Amino acid sequence: MNRIQQLFQNKKENILNIYFTAGFPKLHDTENIILALEKGGVDLIEIGMPYSDPLADGPTIQQSGDVALANGMTLELLFQQIVAVRRKRKFP
């Protein structure tokens, strides 16, 4: 059973899910943001990978994605950041 399945099996209501854009506001903030969200009591984190044409995301996510891309965020870097955090935490 994966971490998300375990969360929904153990906590069936009032799950706090937070989204943020990888590479925003700075390129290497991903780990710090995840750790701060965990400390703040978030149950589940959705990490958005910025891309060049986010038409359906709305202006706030579009803007954060533009900044993240300008910062140099790539899918490879995001996966490296996630691997580093997952070595320290068991958080979905």
> Which residues are identified as catalytic?
46, 57
| Separation CA 2–CA 49 (nearest Å) | 21
Instruction: Evaluate whether 64 touches 22 at the Cβ level (below 8 Å).
Output: no
- Is there a cis peptide before residue 25, judged by omega within 30 degrees of 0? yes
How many CB atoms sit inside 10 A of residue 52's CB?
A: 7
